[in-house]
Amino acid sequence: MFKINFFILFLMLFFTCKGVFAQQSQNQEKTSTQSNALKQFDFQIDRSRIDLQSFDILKQIEPQVTTGIIFNDQLLEGAVDANKYIVGPNDIFSLGIWGVVNEPLPIAVTPEGSLVIPSVGEVAVTGLTLAEAKENVISAVKKRFISAVITLTLISPRRFMITITGVGQGNYPTSAIMRASTIIAFVISDSVSLIKSRTSFGDRSIFSLRNITLKRKSGQTQRIDLYKYFATQDDRFNPFLREGDVLNIPKYDWEERFVSVHGAVQFPGTFEYIEGDDLETAIQLVRGVTTMADTDSIIVSRLAPSADKMSNFYLSLDKDKNYKLMPNDRVIVQVKREQRGDFRVLVLGEVMKPGPYPITRNNTKLIDIINMAGGPTPNSSLANSEVYRKIDTFFIADKKRDSLESAYTKRLNDIISNKEEKESFDLDMNYQLGRVNVDFEKLIEGDESQNIIVRSGDLIYIPDSKKEVYVYGQVNKPGFVPYKEGADYMYYIEAAGGFGERADEDEVRVIKFKTREWLEPDEAKIQSSDFVYVPKVIKRDFAYDMDLISKVASVIVSVVTLTLLVIQSQK
């Protein structure tokens, strides 16, 4: 007899479940227009959209849903919280009566808000949390199947329509696992929705994202604050949607009521002011402070209504986090100045241990760094050693900073009056090397006048002693010549094969390696790595000579004529 009853029960459950799916299939055919409406919400449709670049907060919305009707087709933030999810019509569950029917039975919440379970009856679940619905259903089924293990699992969250008012108007399909932020992002980016509310594309930057009103079917209202939600992850500011919800997205005048937060914060900016905002909220809006922030030194600046007077309030985040802000307050989080910076200099070239070395601020001497680097090697050239330093200029954030620097430097000049002087000045500007005048030979000998204080970023370069001089120009064998202590320029020219055929022997110059100075050969002491340059005699053609003669003759005639006129006038 028990087997007959069990078989009848199984058949009842089978045909009931079959009827549920048949009803779903019929509903799908009858609501093809609703299916088309759902497709309007698919974020991948080809439709005119507005760029959300200015709405940085909306880039962080949760995954967007698709519009299929099969199980598990909706993207989730994570596992559904049974204590927060509210059950409603069209939620689909899997009922397990393990030990009696070892196959899960799909059942759906009816439009009246209940689950109809064969041989058990009707169990009301709408408006309950998922945890409460599970408890009630399991308790009811347990009364009929005492020895069975009963489970109830949510398989597919329901879909429904909500209403949008304000910026963007109409009814929009959504889901029980979708937060308000997702539909808000869609509405604000949907050009058709904006046209319905007569909102122009240019108005998209004045949408409120902190004072959106959510009205439930029960009459309960709730304020949606997307900035607060993404800062605190508090569900109160970005709740999940339900049937009958009405979202009102207002416009907002940023110039009338705002709060600005700048300084040592993560994302400084100007934000919509909401009545009741406090110091802690202001810090939340910018996602917190940076590691350099002095949270005991926060300034709230408040202008008088006439904007001609200002009051500053000095606050501490820990002590004054509940300090109430006023519309148009400006919050500055000051930086905690750390004196111990990463001050370093770089030593290169012929030292025993080249590399970067730490220094103090404005207190480390050059000789100390040379000693830290192990001192010069035997092959070093102290005469050609140098210290380079970055040149301080006024800051201009522009690709043409060098040109602007030159123009700014010349603006009060009193010596540049012609094209040649300007060209000479521009050439000199291009060769600002930041060289510090230091005589390393005297430094090593102990001359304190050469023992400069190094600065962070300095480059100390000690080259090797090549023990050669480079001779080029109009010589027969240009190239390197071994250095000879005390030898004059003629020694190196002879070693390079002597003067060439067109050498201008009167214009020979010695070019110093370190300073690139051009010196008269009789005045220069040639050192290792210096250059000897022999220029060429430039031959002029006949036309050039005749032109020059005519110009000189013209000047002479003019002078003679003027002289005669002066003499004649005195008679």
Tell me the pLDDT tens digit for each residue of 34-75. Answer: 344 334 444 333 344 444 444 444 444 433 433 333 445 677
CA 453 to chain CA centroid, nearest Å: 37
Interval 150-161 mean pLDDT: 93
The string of pLDDT tens digits covering residues 459-518 is 999 999 889 999 999 999 999 999 999 999 999 999 999 999 889 999 999 999 888 899
Question: What is the SS3 assignment for 144?
Answer: helix
Q: How, if at all, do strands 531-534 and 468-473 pair?
A: parallel
Return the percentage of the chain with pLDDT > 90, whole number.
56
Compute the distance between CA of residue 282 and CA of residue 321 in angstroms, rounded to an integer: 9
Is the pLDDT at 247 greater than 90? The verdict is yes
How far apart are the C-alpha atoms of 207 and 561, rounded to whole Å? 86
d(CA 134, CA 486): 104
* Percentage of residues of the chain with pLDDT beyond 70: 81
- Position 193 scores a pLDDT of 62
Provide the total of helices (H) and of strands (E) in the chain, helices listed first: 14, 25
pLDDT at 2 over 70: no
pLDDT for 14 equals: 46
Q: Please give the domain boundaries of the chain with CATH numbers for all domains.
A: 2-158 (3.30.1950.10), 258-335 (3.10.560.10), 344-462 (3.10.560.10), 468-534 (3.10.560.10)
- According to the model, what pLDDT value does residue 338 have? 78
Task: Please report the pLDDT score of residue 199 as a whole number.
Answer: 63
Nearest-angstrom CA–CA distance, 327 and 330: 9
How many C-beta neighbours within 10 Å does residue 250 have? 13
Q: Two tokens at 234? A: 């508090």
67 or 179, which is more confident: 179
Are 177 and 76 in contact by the 8 Å Cβ rule? The answer is yes
Rounded to whole angstroms, the Cα distance separating 215 from 248 reads 8
Q: Where are the alpha helices (DSSP H) in 305-390?
A: 317-320, 366-372
Cross-sheet strand order for the sheet of 435-436: 355-358, 344-349, 459-462, 386-388, 435-436
Q: Are 344 and 359 in contact (CB under 8 A)?
A: yes
Contact 451, 443 (CB under 8 A): yes
Mean pLDDT (the chain, rounded):
83
Which residue type, as a one-letter code, is found at position 273?
Y
Nearest to 348 by CA among 484, 458, 430: 458
* Entry field: residues in the chain: 571
Taking CA 44 as the corner, what is the angle to CA 162 and CA 173, rounded to the nearest 5 degrees? 10
Q: Which of 126-140, 174-188, 197-211, 332-346 is the most confident on average?
A: 126-140
Q: What token pair was written down for 238?
A: 């970005």
- Which of 199-202's residues contact partners 24+ apart within 8 Å by CB, and which partners? 199/167, 199/168, 199/251, 201/50
Q: Residue type for 417, please?
A: S
- At residue 319, what are phi and psi to the nearest 5 degrees? -85, -30
Q: Which of 247-251, 263-267, 513-517, 567-571 has the lowest mean pLDDT?
A: 567-571
pLDDT score recorded for residue 395: 60
Question: pTM surpassing 0.75?
Answer: no
pLDDT at 17 over 50: no
Rounded Cα–Cα distance for residues 265 and 294 (Å): 10
**Residues 520, 507: Cα–Cα separation, whole Å:** 8
Looking at residue 411, its pLDDT comes to: 77
| Closest CA relative to residue 107, chosen from 75, 98, 118, 136 | 118
Gap between the Cα atoms of 194 and 52, Å rounded: 14
Q: Considering only CA atoms, which of 522, 527, 453, 444 is closest in space to residue 490? A: 522
pLDDT tens-digit map of 301-360 = 999 999 899 999 999 999 999 999 999 999 999 998 877 889 999 999 999 999 999 999
Question: What angle do the packed helices 32-40 and 2-30 form, to 10 degrees?
Answer: 70
Q: Which residue type sits at 515?
A: T
- Residue 547 is predicted with a pLDDT of 76
Nearest to 174 by CA among 158, 191, 190: 158
